[in-house]
Each structure stands twice: as structure tokens, then as C-alpha cells.
Amino acid sequence: MTTLSKPAQRPANPNFSSGPCAKRPGWSLNALSDAPLGRSHRAKVGKAKLKQAIDLTREVLQVPADYRIGIVPASDTGAVEMALWSLLGERGVDMVAWESFGAGWVTDVIKQLKLPDARTIEAGYGELPDLSKVDFDRDVVFTWNGTTSGVRVPNGDFIPADRKGLTICDATSAAFAQRLDFDKLDVVTFSWQKVLGGEGAHGMLILSPRAVERLLTYKPAWPLPKIFRLTSGGKLIEGIFSGETINTPSMLCVEDYLDALNWAKSIGGLDGLVGRANKNFAVLDAFVERTPWLANLATVPATRSNTSVCLTIVDPEITALDTDAQANFAKNLVALLEKEGVAYDIGAYRDAPSGLRIWAGATVESADLEALTLWLDWAFQSQKAALKQAA
């Protein structure tokens, strides 16, 4: 068997996971030295750190002044569930889904909440649904960026300003890398471990004045567990939105999030973050354009994610294989790159079509992606040669 020469250039940081994502450039444990470890999160120092995290989130993400921002349990999942269980049921809801996590919210609303007036508007991996079918007189739940399909909405133009329902947006792999149209969004959720490379278990819940009004005027027919409760005695629990969290947060993780936010400010805030993500995506997109064995899973260029870039292997000799063999080829390619220490965790999501999923968010360096493309070609050719030899 012919031995292919390995590329001389290697990524300095081989972490291309789509969550938890790569730490910001230059990060070290020293960045966490000011964490108030062993102190109560309800002590003055703890509440100050949590409020600072909320304030910096507003500044960097450019959240309107009249929107509430809260730190909540259980990552982005917890934030979305709080919104679904606390807000839905007042009117019909349109569930818009085109990948795994959006499909998960459909399941929760239809099978768990059992809402009788829930419509599903779906598309397969690689495509957006027909957004003209969405009825914004109803509540609408959707992901801004499909983390497992690499398909995003290009902007918020499809959402009318005079909508009657609420828009509930899972933005976890879009926030800090894509511009969210907050005027069109009533609930926005994300987690620290995505675009800013923070640590897991903490979610962010952002509420518009319209969402707050719904909380104050509507009571769901079902009981709410403590960690979902945003109101008490008919009033908003304001402490949630000023640093008094529902349950105990990790102050080490809070410090790490603060470090990431301050780094974001140092590179130009949201403009700098979006610019870095766009530059990173351009590296991968250019590679795909010149590489005949690879294609973007997202079929329409305007809908391609600049963070969770999902790619599919289109080489005719590989696509001629049965589905299991195609999946094994992709898994072997990913395993080879991990063995070489040049790329970790870049396999497609388990429910998605087989292929690759490469994180290109702002904490990744474009030079590392440039180096990765060389290794992708090497790994593909190596695996294809091994496949022919086995035959």
C-alpha cells in the first residue's frame, strides 16, 4: 500500500468540537485566579460577579436595555425548557425544526406538554423549512442556528414586527458569532460553552418586555418545578435577572465566562467576534469549493452556519457504498485525525447524516483551520487507499 506523506503543518490547537468549544486564544488556568472559590454565590462578591456576567453579556451581545437577562440552570437546554414550560399554552404554537435540537423541542411540546394546538413545520438536514408557512399570530419556537445541521436563518426578516405571538429562539450556537435581531425575538437562549468557549451547565435566558408581560398575565395549566419558576405571587422574580440565581452556580465557571467576555471586548466586541467566525468559515468554505470529495450539508449558501460547519463526503466511490459503510468511512477518517492529534471531536452529530462537523466560532484561529484542511485531505486519501486495499 502506498504511504501518503503527512502534512508538515499542524494545528496549534486541535480542539474543533461543537460544544464545549475551544477556549479563547491564549487562555490558561491563570485566567481564573480571581474566582471567589469557597464563597457563597449569595455573598456580596458572588452576586457582584454574577451581575457583571449579565452586564457584560448585554454589552457584548448588544441586548436592548429593556430586555431582561438571567443566568439559569442546566445550560441552554434548561433555558429553553424554562421558556417552553413557563410561556406556552396561552395560544397555539408553531414548532419550526430542521435538525436534532429543534426536533427535541417539538417532542417536548407535543409529547411532554401535550399542547393540543401545536403545529410542526419541518425540513430535513441541510435545508430550512418554508418559513412563509409560519403563523406569527401564534407563538413560534425555532433555533437560529441548527447546530447539528449547519443550517441557520440568514436574518430575522421572516418575523413580522407586528406579531401577536411570542418568538422563542434557541440561539446557542449563534450568539456571539451571528447578529441576532432582538427586535424580532422575545426569548433568546444560549449556553456559555458554545461560541465563547466557556464551561458547561449554565444557561442564559433573555426576555423581551412582551415575554415578561406574558409571564405576568398568563399562568400555565401545569405545575412548574422550582428551577422553572420565573414569577412569584404574580410578580417577576427580579433577582434572577440581577445575579440571584435559582440554584447554586459554579463561581469557577462564572469567572471563566467573565474572562471570555472580557476577551470578546478586547477584540472589538460583537463586530470582532462575528468577523473572526466569518473568516474561519471562509477558510473551510474555500477548502470545500476546491475539494471534489467534500460538500456543505447546507444546500443554500446564505443559510450556511459560520460556527457549526457540517460537511458531507460526496466522493462517488464512497457514496456508492451502503449507508453503514459510508458512516464507517467517515468515523474512521475522524478517528485517524484524532489519533494524529490534529483534530478532536469533528464527527457529524449522531442523528445527522454521516460526515464531519467542524467548529469555526470566534475562539478558533483561522491558521489552525488552514492547517486542518491539509490533514483532512490526507486523512481522506489515506482512508480511501485503505478501503481499496481491503477490497
Q: How many domains does the chain have?
A: 2
Both 73 and 191 in a single domain? yes
Both 290 and 356 in a single domain? yes
For residue 9, being part of any structural domain is answered with no
Is the pLDDT score of 272 beyond 50?
A: yes
Both 240 and 277 in a single domain? no
Model confidence over 126-182: pLDDT tens digits? 999 999 999 999 999 999 999 999 999 999 999 999 999 999 999 999 999 999 999
Compute the residue count for the chain.
391
For residue 20, being part of any structural domain is answered with no
For residue 323, being part of any structural domain is answered with yes
At residue 243 the predicted structure's pLDDT band, cuts being 50, 70 and 90, is very high
For residue 19, being part of any structural domain is answered with no
Both 256 and 368 in a single domain? no
pLDDT at 391: 77
Both 165 and 297 in a single domain? no
Last residue in a domain, options 264, 287, 308 = 264
DSSP string, 147-172: TTTTEE-S-STTS-TT-SS-EEEE-T
pLDDT at 2: 55
Both 179 and 245 in a single domain? yes
Model confidence over 246-265: pLDDT tens digits? 999 999 999 999 999 999 99
207 CB-near residues (< 8 Å, 6+ apart)? 67, 68, 69, 70, 186, 187, 215, 241
CA distances from 75 to 112, 139, 209, 295 (A): 20, 23, 23, 31
Place of cell 508538515: 8
Domain of 338 in residue numbering reads as: 269-390
Both 349 and 291 in a single domain? yes
pLDDT at 255: 98
Residue 180, all three cell numbers = 441576532
pLDDT at 4: 85
Is the pLDDT score of 307 beyond 50?
A: yes
Both 223 and 306 in a single domain? no
Residue 121, all three cell numbers = 413545520
Q: Mean pLDDT over all residues of the chain? A: 97
Both 283 and 245 in a single domain? no
Element (H, E) at 357: strand 356-359
Both 216 and 356 in a single domain? no
Q: CATH number of the domain at 131, please.
A: 3.40.640.10
Contact indicator for 110, 94 with CB cutoff of 8 Å: no
219 CB-near residues (< 8 Å, 6+ apart)? none
pLDDT at 333: 98
Cα angle for residues 150, 175, 40 (degrees, 5° grid): 130
Backbone φ and ψ of 190, nearest 5°: -165, 175
Residue 319, all three cell numbers = 457514496
Contact indicator for 105, 80 with CB cutoff of 8 Å: yes
Beta-strand pair 139-143/93-97: parallel
Last residue in a domain, options 264, 298, 321 = 264
Q: CATH number of the domain at 323, please.
A: 3.90.1150.10
pLDDT at 1: 43
Ranges of H-type helices in 299-391: 316-319, 323-339, 366-390
For residue 4, being part of any structural domain is answered with no
Both 276 and 291 in a single domain? yes
Element (H, E) at 140: strand 139-143
Distance CA 328, CA 354 (A): 9
Model confidence over 177-221: pLDDT tens digits? 999 999 999 999 999 999 999 999 999 999 999 999 999 999 999
For residue 101, being part of any structural domain is answered with yes
Distance CA 119, CA 116 (A): 9
Place of cell 435540537: 101
Last residue in a domain, options 233, 264, 295 = 264
Radius of gyration of the chain (CA): 22
For residue 217, being part of any structural domain is answered with yes
Both 211 and 347 in a single domain? no
243 CB-near residues (< 8 Å, 6+ apart)? 46, 47, 48, 49, 50, 51, 53, 54, 71
For residue 18, being part of any structural domain is answered with no
